[in-house]
Amino acid sequence: MDWKPFWKIVEEAYRPDPIDHFEALKERLDGLKWFEVIEFQARFDEMVAAANHIDLWGAAYLINGGCSDDGFRDFRVWLVGRGRHAYEAALRAPDTLADILDGDPVDGFGLDAAALRVYEAKTGMSDFYERLDREEKDAPPPPPEGADWDFEDETEMKKRFPKLCHLYLVPADEKDEIVEGD
């Protein structure tokens, strides 16, 4: 599958609600032939892998209030699901994510399984991953690209992601007000 149809499917499927997003992506993929569904997944996986950068992980950590290895993969799935413009902008400068976020955490909600579900429904077969030829499916993910840094360092976070920090870092005095106001 070429990149243009890949991104068109992704962008047409986007919905703010994660469940609606998943269902809309399945609907778009349902219009493809079974082998195109596999090609779509291969492209999707390429984009998730290409976003394996330490600064994106730092942004995910800030946005979601922490971020494990699996959580970072889910974050990258979410990022691909937001479409080409948001994806490419975030790869260049993760702080641009503040332009599309509202202060809530994000989750890919299994978008990377939409193609699998559509393939199984179309073919009745369970050989999706074999056809995808995903050798690395059981291998641990490679370490992210970039120099490691401390995601717990608030000063460093503010330096790297000033706009995201404005959305996601609540000053201590405001946290006290939130707790007292509940």
What's the pLDDT score for residue 176? 46
Structure tokens at 59: 């942004």
Length of the chain: 182
CA 112: distance to chain centroid? 9
Question: pLDDT of 140-166, one tens digit each?
Answer: 778 899 999 999 999 999 999 999 999
User: Domain total for the chain?
Assistant: 1
At 73 the three-state DSSP class reads: helix
As a whole number, mean pLDDT of residues 62-73 equals: 94
Helices assigned H by DSSP within 31-133: 34-50, 54-64, 69-81, 84-92, 114-123, 128-132
Per-residue pLDDT at 29 exceeds 80? yes
Domain hosting 86: range is 3-181
Per-residue pLDDT at 92 exceeds 80? yes
Amino acid at 18: P
The model's pTM is 0.89
Give the pLDDT band (50/70/90) at residue 170. Answer: confident
